[in-house]
Amino acid sequence: MENKGSILMQRYEIGRLLGQGTFGKVYHARNLGTGQSVAIKMIDKEKVFKVGMIDQIKREISVMRLVKHPNVVQLYEVMASKTKIYFVMEYAKGGELFNKVAKGKLKEDVARKYFQQLISAVDFCHSRGVYHRDLKPENLLLDENGNLKVSDFGLSALAESKQQDGLLHTTCGTPAYVAPEVISRKGYDGAKADIWSCGVVLFVLMSGYLPFQDSNLMEMYRKIGKAEFKCPNWFPFEVRRLVSKILDPNPSTRISIEKIMENSWFKKGFDAKLVKSETETTEIVPMDFDSVFGSSDNGIAESKAELVNCTNLNAFDIISLSEGFDLSNLFEENDHKREARFTSKQPASVIISKIEDIAKRLRLKVKKKDGGVMKLEASKEGRKGVLSIDAEIFEVTPSFHLVEMKKSSGDTLEYQKLWKQDVRPALADIVWAWQGKQQ
């Protein structure tokens, strides 16, 4: 059913491939009955069962059915065959907003229109108890009329996900757009975190670059934590003031969406009543997930011991972690020769032990730092000082991690030799997949 021109479920004619990941592909398609263009996400059941993504996909479906707004990509229906799950969604002909920003800053009126539509959509999501948690230009699509559509609810959290303290505790999102309180891993308000991300998006639309950027991830985290950024001189005063209120590192004093919508710069040309009249309020009928996923006797291996509770990563985009964490398109500098990323299905304790074993064999000293960072240092000084390697571990689930290893000091040639001949081969038994093209 994945060949161009083939017919799916006697309802959709499959068109060109729009994108793909580890768990499936997205195609442009045409509804045979209405002629309407749609996007169909085809997910491989067996693959998502193996890595325990079923609950994740169920949540994504639930969220998309719950949120119906003119500036949110609509989920039309979900179908399934014995081996695949099909998301039939609204087709955004204009592609990603990121593609427009990649060419440079937008005109003030254009940036404001997109920001108004983003805030309107996010405000509606929050009113339904849904927090997106990964708002960025790559997840903001444009329709044929140039209207913004929020997409990709794979990282979204429902209000029920909050713990007893009323906060969310899952670290997720794309680093450059993530709020300080999310990085600190001390719990956070999903609405406040989304507002921060909207502020970063506004800055990017108006400037053409990120407010927080550094080729070193930990240095970027430091800048985010202190809200260390500078608005370019072409920002109007009222935009500077609004951005500073949104990018407030203290979530308790950060501006609310209600106050953003009362801002004079924001309100210019914005018709809240028109948006409200276009918002659907139809009752959502509970979905029979068994009809989509089947049960454990459907021929798909579903060993409970192998399943992990993956609640903070988009099931379809897991292979694209390299895109999510590699911000080279917006960074001014990025030395691909010095860093490498891989995903692992091993617990953090196993990954740490493996890195420590490698360090011991190579006679490297290990220094542990806060936040899942390990520093490996050579015992002797080389041509350009002491060779030092940082290894940072990001938890996706307790048994699924993203690991970034990067030279932080010393001679690059010495590092490359050590990496290719010793470190990389020794990591082979804990690596699930290497991320990016630099490997």
How far, in Å, CA of 83 to CA of 106, rounded?
Answer: 44
Burial of 206 (0-12, 13-18, 19+ CB in 10 A): buried
Q: Are 314 and 154 in contact (CB under 8 A)?
A: yes
How far, in Å, CA of 392 to CA of 318, rounded?
Answer: 18
Residue where the block lists tokens 């209405």: 34
Q: Are 336 and 438 in contact (CB under 8 A)?
A: yes
Which of 288, 319, 306, 268 minimizes the C-alpha distance to 154? 319
Strand order in the sheet with 75-80: 7-8, 12-21, 24-31, 37-44, 84-90, 75-80
Q: Are 312 and 17 in contact (CB under 8 A)?
A: no
24 pairs with which residues across the strands?
Answer: 21, 43
How far, in Å, CA of 243 to CA of 260, rounded?
Answer: 10
Q: Are 18 and 27 in contact (CB under 8 A)?
A: yes
134 is catalytic: yes
Which of 339, 344, 338 minimizes the C-alpha distance to 394? 344
Amino acid letter for position 148? L
Catalytic residue among 123, 134, 214, 317: 134
Measured from the Cβ of residue 2, the count of other Cβ atoms closer than 10 Å reads 12
Amino acid letter for position 83? T
The DSSP string of 95-120 is EEHHHHHTT-PPPHHHHHHHHHHHHH
Q: Are 230 and 207 in contact (CB under 8 A)?
A: no
* Residues classed as catalytic: 134
